[in-house]
Amino acid sequence: MATYRVLSLDGGGIRGIITVVLLKRLAAEPGLGGWLDEVDLIAGTSTGGLLALGIARGLDLGAIEDLYLTKGRAIFDDSWLDNVVDLGKVIGANYSLKGLTRELQRVLGETTTLGDLATRVLVATFDLDNVDDPGRGAGEPRTWKPKLFHNFPGEGTDAGVLAWKVGLYTAAAPTYFPSYEGYVDGGVYATNPSMCALAQALDDRYGPPAALNDVVLLSVGTGTNLQYIPRKNVDWGYAQWARPIVTLMLDGASGIADFQCRQILGARYQRLAPVFPAGTNYAMDDVKHVTAMHAFASGIDLSETAAWLRAHWMTP
């Protein structure tokens, strides 16, 4: 039986409602009551990072579900004035961070730090400039780089960083939101943070690491759009690739992490990533279809994942 349980939550914007519904439904499965209480590490990127912070803060899944249903439009609020200033989205991010900031401060607390959270968390972000990074060594070059915020004890911990700020860092998806304090969405390299979480669990810099054979990992996606470019030779420039490249990059990073974890962990790894029906395409900011996404998640067959949790996750 496993002694170190990892929950990894993908990015996906408003599609995070799907993740919440799936987690909530799993808790209602026979024999799985309180399964989330046994988690040792929750990793998340973007909307998954927000969920990780909320769950570690002790928020009820029903309350988080309600946030997606009732506050989505306030977070993805694209005013006509903003579009004028941004030249119809040619320049400037699509949305302001004001609505998201307000909600994160309200639900996580304005003074809550990562160290105040009851569970270990790992949140993927990307640092656009490491000039102010306290961990930057003498002579280390100035550059951008991935940044994983965590609350593990030891040297280099981020336990003192405000949780709501980390939420903004990980949710600042390029083109959708502006960067915040020099950070953007970790989805640029880890839409699916499963491998990041596995590496963190095995890292001996923060106390005794987990043994690889003791780790079980459940990775949950936000729904997969069936997308493709129906051409063999695509001769596109900046303008044509601008939006497709973001989605392509996010899907590619998610898929390779799934492959890597499956190879390393074998039966101790489970991926729950529902696929949308052909012809259905939900964008990360598709708030008008949040009810439809909720209904979609409510109909997913969870029998395989529930059986895996009973076999590999629950304490006998």
Residues acting as catalytic residues: 46, 185
Label the pairing between strands 215-220 and 120-127. unpaired
Tokens of 164: 């709501």
3-class secondary structure for 189-214?
HHCCCHHHHHHHHCCHHHCCCCCHHH
| Residues 200, 210: Cα–Cα separation, whole Å | 9
| Residues 61, 44: Cα–Cα separation, whole Å | 16
| Residues 53, 60: Cα–Cα separation, whole Å | 12
| Residues 191, 9: Cα–Cα separation, whole Å | 9
Q: Sort 84 into a burial class: Cβ within 10 Å, 0-12 / 13-18 / 19+.
A: exposed
> Cα–Cα distances in Å, from 123 out to 8, 168, 263?
10, 11, 23
| Residues 170, 190: Cα–Cα separation, whole Å | 11
Q: How many residues does the chain have?
A: 316
| Residues 87, 206: Cα–Cα separation, whole Å | 47
Amino acid (one-letter) located at 126: F
**Are the beta carbons of 59 and 23 closer than 8 angstroms?**
no
| Beta pairing partners, 180 | 183
**Are the beta carbons of 71 and 103 closer than 8 angstroms?**
yes
